[in-house]
Structure 1
Amino acid sequence: MSGSPDLGVEKHGHVTLIEIRRPPLNFFDLSLIQQIADTLDQLDEDKDCRAVVLASQGKAFCAGANFNRPVADGGDAASGTGTTGDLYLEAVRIFRNKKPIVAAVQGAAIGGGLGLAVSADFRVACPEARFAANFTRLGFHPGFGLTITLPEIIGKTNAALMFYTSRRVTGEEAFKMGLANILVPQDQVRAEAFKLANEIAENSPLGLLSTRATMRAGLADRVKAQTDHELAEQTWLRQTEDFKEGVKATEERRLPKFQGR
């Protein structure tokens, strides 16, 4: 199976590595999310693949959407190309995949990048990792299905805390709240992710697929319904002065001065 300049795909026995190759920050757009979804669809048909490791080159796992990227006609800044609705349709495809995924989070997983990390079954992280749902700091509303997936993993109160404050959660904090399943030194993150994926892959492939389908029953449909709502909220917030100020403040690395309009 071949990859692309932005996405590497490598087979290691019964485990397949999907590697995001947009270092150092690995910003995503519609094209990248679509490539990941396409690859997972192909792996669903590959009987030799029993588990997946999702990793990234560079210092960040995925720093979210690149708001500075030029957009195509009819597009918007959050998705890079196409529309945010198109992006979320591709994201839902990721949640429909059949094979277990272990995310190797060696650095920042921010905004939609956190959504991508949360789409995996498990996350291996390190103290240097940072997890943030920084949407309100941008004058925005959470997306990528995070308003349903994150509470299911860390509880409603912890998720609300992350949403309302936009704070960055360290690897240690993420491990304590269950957002990270395994915590190891930074240089061991990928190896530990493969170790877990191989442990999963040692089991009956049919039993594994059946059990995972039961554990994640209805998840993709719930994410689809939630992204529809998230998109509606994001659409009107995108027109506000606060959103423009939030993006500008982020670019200038300063605290935003919101006016509530």
Structure 2
Amino acid sequence: MMDSVIDLRETEPGIVQLTMQDKVHKNGFSEALMNGLVQAFETIKNNERFKVVIVTGYENYFASGGTQEALLAIYEGRASFTDVNLYSLAQDCSIPVISAMQGHGIGGGFIFGMFADFIVLSKESIYTTNFMKYGFTPGMGATYILPQKFGVSLAHEMLLTAANYRGAQLEKRGIPYPVLPRNEVLAYAYELARQIADKPLHSLITLKDHLVGPAREQLAAIIKKEVQMHEKTFHHPEVKERIMALFGK
């Protein structure tokens, strides 16, 4: 499958690479990218050849989260981050997913990558949960998945401060994931993928279902609470001012 913003192709037997390449929005969650991601994972679901998915971006961008227009729509009450369920696409996928985060992961784009079964970061790239920078509380399941992946202390720091962290900084903080030079991230992901693709499909599906089952069961309640926090925090005038003044900076 090939279109302007998503490239989905089986690159080796059993291995499918999903490349996000919305260069106009720097892999922000434009309507085209969101629809493309949903369609791509539906295609993966319906193809019994695939055993493992590698999700990656282009050049120095992995995914940049909500666009300015989308954030303003939520502020105005015309939209919610739950309108399109991007956050758990990787977790809900029946086969293992590797986030080859070769580029910047920003806000919801970073959290999208965190829901994968395997995560590979780059030393040079910026990773941030920048929701509070704009004055509203985190969404996309961030309050659940980030403590699960990075530990409570670092996750709370990232969520509350909305600071930027280079991959090299996160490596020094002891995150349990490989952090490599950008040009080595995808190759490392393929090494992992080949080890996974060697296994029987039915066993991969059965084990992943067991491993992520509790998270799948808990996530709905977390999302509900995040939406409730948005109702309290997203619609203040200061939020719009921050979105207009700070977006992309």
By the TM > 0.5 criterion, same fold?
yes
SS at match of 1:109: strand
Distance in 1 (alpha carbons) for counterparts of 2:185 and 2:207: 26
Q: Does 1:189 pair with 2:189? A: no
Alignment of 1:44-59 (within 5 A): 44-59=45-60
- Do structure 1's residue 63 and structure 2's residue 64 form an aligned pair? yes
1:233 counterpart = 2:242: no
Q: How much has 1:93 moved relative to structure 2?
A: 4.5
CA distance in 2, matches of 1:78, 1:118: 28
Taking structure 1 as the reference length, what is the TM-score of the superposition? 0.85
**Aligned 1:1-261 pairs, distance under 5 A:** 2-12=1-11, 13-23=13-23, 25-68=26-69, 75-76=73-74, 83-87=80-84, 89-177=85-173, 179=175, 181-251=177-247, 253=249
Instruction: Output the amino acid matched with 2:219.
Output: V
The answer for the alignment partner of 1:259 in structure 2 is: none
Q: 1:178 to 1:43 in 2, by over 3 A?
A: farther
> How much is the aligned-residue C-alpha RMSD, in angstroms?
2.5
Please tell me whether the aligned partners of residues 37 and 93 of structure 1 are also in contact (alpha carbons under 8 angstroms).
Answer: yes
Tell me the secondary structure at the aligned position of residue 163 of structure 2. Answer: coil
Question: Residue type of the partner of 2:92?
Answer: R
SS in 1 for 2:10: strand
- With over 3 angstroms needed to count, the CA separation of the structure-2 counterparts of 1:95 and 1:30, relative to structure 1, is farther
| Kept after mapping to 1: 8 A contact 2:74/2:234 | no
Report how far residue 47 of structure 1 moved: 1.9
Percent of counterpart pairs with the same letter?
21
Distance 1:219 1:78, change over 3 A: farther
Q: Is the 8 A contact 1:123 1:180 kept in 2?
A: no
Q: For the residues of structure 2 that align with 1:97 and 1:237, how far apart are their CA atoms?
A: 31
Question: What letter is aligned with 2:111?
Answer: G
Q: Deviations over 1:120-164 (max 9, x none)?
A: 111112211221111111101111101001111111111101011
Contact 1:23 1:58 in 2 (8 A): no
Question: SS of the residue aligned with 2:138?
Answer: coil
User: Would the aligned equivalents of 1:34 and 1:90 in 2 still touch at CA under 8 Å?
Assistant: no
CA distance, structure 2, for counterparts of residue 6 and residue 242 of structure 1 = 33
Distance in structure 2 (CA, Å) of the matches to 1:176 and 1:203: 33
Matched positions, count: 247
Contact 1:63 1:111 in 2 (8 A): yes
Q: From the superposition, tell whether residues 192 and 77 of structure 1 become closer, same or farther in structure 2 (CA, over 3 Å).
A: farther
3-state DSSP of counterpart to 1:16? strand
1:123 and 1:179 in contact (8 A); partners too: no
Which residue number in structure 2 is paired with residue 256 of structure 1?
Answer: none
Q: Is the 8 A contact 1:101 1:120 kept in 2?
A: yes
SS of alignment partner, residue 200 of structure 1:
helix
**Alpha-carbon contact 1:62-1:109 (below 8 Å) kept:** yes
C-alpha distance in 2 between matches for 1:21 and 1:196? 23
Q: Is the 8 A contact 1:11 1:17 kept in 2?
A: yes
Q: Secondary structure in 1 aligned to 2:53?
A: strand
1:203 and 1:135 map into 2 onto residues whose CA distance is 39
In the superposition, the TM-score normalised over structure 2's length comes to 0.88
- Residue identity matched to 1:222: Q
**Range with bigger deviation, 134-143 or 216-225:** 216-225
